[in-house]
Amino acid sequence: MPFDSDFTLKPSRLVSGDTLGIIAPSSPFDKQKFRDGLVVIEEMGFSVFFPENIFEQKGYLAGSDAHRADIINSMFADPEIKGIICARGGYGALRILPLMDFNIIASNPKILIGCSDITVLLNTLYSKCKLVSLHGPMVQSLANASDQTKQSLQDMLLKDEPLSLRCKKSVVIHPGQASGIMAGGNLTTLCHLMGTPFEPDFSGQILLLEDIGEAPYRIDRMLMQMKLAGCFDRICGIIIGTFKGCGEPDLIYQIFADIFSKDNFPILAGFDVGHDEPNLTIPFGINASLDTAGGMLTFNESPFFN
């Protein structure tokens, strides 16, 4: 079914008892942590479903590209599946983009939850279908997640309340206020989308950026590449999540300050979003407002249509 590219596509809000489908678009995962994570999801009040062949492996991938894409397409097409959460990140989501059926996805909008390598899917589903998604923890990480991480995900999925995040340890890099569509995710993964047919357009968006295990000079290089490519020309603002294992936070913040020294959009660092704990769940694809003075990121609409 054709879809209106100017219309934001919001999935239905989940209710207790709904079934979450599990997909593995990227790397293989630890089976015990996977099953422990399923227990956490069930304790939140959801049923879970995953195909038995989700455990397939092909080197550093969770099965062939066609296998991983088929699972995603079938989960969106299945009316019994009310939402979808990824088993883990790693690498591999980039490879399946040409195999995804965006017409099926747009005709069956469902919430997709993930982070890290799943950044590829979150941003592509918005650029291709205008589908709202959730940047949040995945099944494997839920096995050892903090109570705050788990509560944030559960509240996002089940509570119909205005959402705002206060940055408790905020570092203001550029002061100011801005409103725009929330997007972004893992810096490395976003950088690898550039120059592909799936390159996102960040115009009018507030970008979350986070990463793990990248040397400071690599963060500098990726930000510079994207800046020179014009990726940041029309963005509204940046929020900086965790950069775990990337060096001292002050050094990372200085890199952002240097690269964006001549830009006038607000930049606020210190959000608990990314590869560290806690990893708070935030929606992509809906309007948000950033206020560096109050250290606040406020979402101005629900990620669900009811």
The answer to whether 43 is a known catalytic residue is: no
The b/e string for 175-212 (b: 16+ C-beta within 10 A; e otherwise) is ebebebbbbbbbbbbbbbbeeeebbbebeebbbbbbbb
* Catalytic member of 116, 127, 152, 170: 116
CA distances from 290 to 125, 175, 207, 293, 305 (A): 23, 10, 11, 9, 23
Peptide bond into 278 cis (omega under 30): yes
Is residue 276 within 8 A of residue 244, CB to CB? The reply is yes
Q: Catalytic: 210?
A: yes
The number of beta carbons lying within 10 Å of the beta carbon of residue 219 is 23
Active site residue 47: no
Which of these is catalytic: 135, 170, 210, 214?
210
Supply 123's token pair.
């941003």
Q: Which helix (H) or strand (E) holds 133?
A: strand 133-135
Set 67, 135, 174, 275: catalytic member? 275
Which residues are the active-site residues? Answer: 116, 210, 275
